[in-house]
Structure 1
Amino acid sequence: MELTFNTKLKGTIALTDSFQLTKTLREDNSLYKFIWARKGTVTIDVDHQLITLQENDIISLTNLHHLEIKESEGDYMILLFNSNFYCIYGNDHEVSCSGFLFNGTSRIMHFRLSEEEKATCEAIITSLQSEFQVNDNLKEEMLRILLKHFIIHATRVARKNLHITPDMEESFNSVRRFYVLVDQHFKEKKQVQDYADMLCKSPKTLSHLLSLYNLPSPLKVIHQRVEAEAKRLLLYSEMTAKEIAHLLGFEDQASFSRFFKKVSGESITQYKRQLKESGKIDN
């Protein structure tokens, strides 16, 4: 099954249970994704890291993450959309998911549905499937409403998994804002103080906020974002290490190489050799 709707302004929303067979969706690098293992298990490759989803697991990926379905022993569903169809940043006041369900680090949001939560997801997906078949001038907005419903439900489930209570709303919004700022500025700002200043907080307070939700330290979040971008560029672009170093805001290739080895545990040369030997990049 593949259901797709495109707007006149290049907005896209799609629903599929056969992503690996859908070239158009696989090659569209503008799409945000929810992957839901509905029955059995599904093994996926996200930026060449294997993840096995158990029944009723959901993960959310940004348009930056590269997704492949490696093996499916059951049924899965993927809901996809781009910013032209629904902008999660511009409409954060509606769904409160930016920097939480979706951010550019390698730390992927992963949660499991209860039976009640599963029933809600099933109802939304069923409504989406029906709406894709409608042909009138209300279709676009109805699909957008249902997408928002799914995002809000996913946000609530993920918050529940992190034990976020109403009295923690303000502090959690600061954490989300921090992740958004890192996505926006990681190339030129790599110090915790930079982000603490933008949030009008001290570095110590920012560290405390992240620790409340068992998240990495602010410096590690920044480093994870830079590392994720570096690895994506090494994997999916033809840029040299020198060009990547410049793009990511390092003074020179040597400082980038030192950073990469420190955060990944291997040199750029070792990383690329490993990718070539595994066939993940061309020789």
Structure 2
Amino acid sequence: MTEFHTIEIVSEGILQFIRFNRSFYCILKHDNQISCKSILFFGASQLPVISLTEKKTVIFKNLINVFKNEMVSKDKLQLEMLQILLKRFLILCTRIYKNQNNYDMLDDVNVNIVREFNFLVEKYFNTKHLVSDYAEILNKSPKTIYNLFSKLDTKTPLHYIQERIMLEARRLLRYTDNSIKEIAYEIGFEDIQSFSRLFKKKEGVFPSEFKKNITSRTYCQLIGSN
């Protein structure tokens, strides 16, 4: 997960997680080592979830135990060892995720094109809304991009763009007091009608209804807590 994701707790259980920042290990800077940019991180709107077999679960549990042991070490090699362990953790996650999402259907060159497309969407979604915009940056035809995504048997590249737009739209509607017009402009729509049509198509309600429903739920929760 990244700082772009918002978590809503719906139930509580036992959780183990590893938290790190860019100064400790930068995903972008070290992508040539782990190749997880736009697969585990910075991948448009998708939240990567992997399923572990019993055998893989044992591997991860053992790795986490090594993490815990190393955290209490006080020698000068601790930092380097923790970085090595994190790199191994991320590589394992990347391999499993790629296998579960048909990345093995593409060669390395085409996998990198898909990864770069997803990264560019994360970077430019609020100004570039068409597959052709990203195809131009990648020096590929829109048809080539569509064909690559079809081999993955996943959503179309246009869906990835629109889902990233929707993720930001929902975030702004939920957590800011900006007007619908201001939000539409912020994510690259010249008119509120185009934004509203896309939002209705994807969410099932217009932006104004979405914001009204959020306000109503929040008010009811406050009343209930009082």
TM-score for both structures, normalised by structure 2: 0.88
Measured against aligned partners, the alpha-carbon deviations of 1:69-123 in whole angstroms (never above 9, x if no partner) come to 33235x3211222223222122111111111112364432222111221122112
Distance across 1 between alignment mates of 2:222 and 2:6: 17
Please name the residue that 1:211 is paired with.
150
1:99 aligns with 2:38: yes
What residue identity is the alignment partner of 1:242?
A: K
Please name the residue that 1:156 is paired with.
95
Residue pair 1:192, 1:219 contacting (<8 A) in 2 also: yes
1:1-283 paired onto structure 2 within 5 Å: 61-73=1-13, 75-103=14-42, 105-165=44-104, 168-279=107-218
Which stretches of structure 1, 4 residues or more, deviate above 4 A after TM superposition? 280-283
Worse-matched range after superposition: 181-190 or 272-281: 272-281
Matched position secondary structure for 1:69: coil
| Higher-Rg member (1/2) | 2
Bigger proportion of residues as strand: 1
Matched position secondary structure for 2:103: coil
Worse-matched range after superposition: 242-251 or 266-275: 242-251
List gaps (5 residues or longer) in structure 1: 1-60
Residue pair 2:184, 2:190 contacting (<8 A) in 1 also: yes
C-alpha spacing 1:244/1:211, structure 2 compared with 1 (3 Å): same
Matched position secondary structure for 1:154: helix
Measured against aligned partners, the alpha-carbon deviations of 1:191-230 in whole angstroms (never above 9, x if no partner) come to 1111111122111110111111122111111111111011
List gaps (5 residues or longer) in structure 2: none
Residue pair 2:106, 2:151 contacting (<8 A) in 1 also: no
What residue identity is the alignment partner of 1:198?
A: I
TM-score for both structures, normalised by structure 1: 0.72
Matched position secondary structure for 2:212: helix
Q: Which has the higher contact order (CA 8 A, sep 6+)?
A: 2
Residue pair 2:39, 2:115 contacting (<8 A) in 1 also: yes
What residue identity is the alignment partner of 1:78?
A: F
Matched position secondary structure for 2:20: strand
Distance across 1 between alignment mates of 2:45 and 2:117: 16
Distance across 2 between alignment mates of 1:204 and 1:195: 12
What residue identity is the alignment partner of 1:65?
A: H
C-alpha spacing 1:253/1:282, structure 2 compared with 1 (3 Å): farther
Q: What is the Cα-based RMSD across aligned positions, in Å? A: 2.2
Residue pair 1:104, 1:228 contacting (<8 A) in 2 also: no
Distance across 2 between alignment mates of 1:253 and 1:84: 40
Worse-matched range after superposition: 87-96 or 135-144: 135-144
Bigger proportion of residues as helix: 2
Residue 231 (structure 1) shift: 0.6
Distance across 2 between alignment mates of 1:167 and 1:266: 37
Distance across 2 between alignment mates of 1:124 and 1:165: 25
Measured against aligned partners, the alpha-carbon deviations of 1:108-151 in whole angstroms (never above 9, x if no partner) come to 22221112211221121111111111223322222221111110
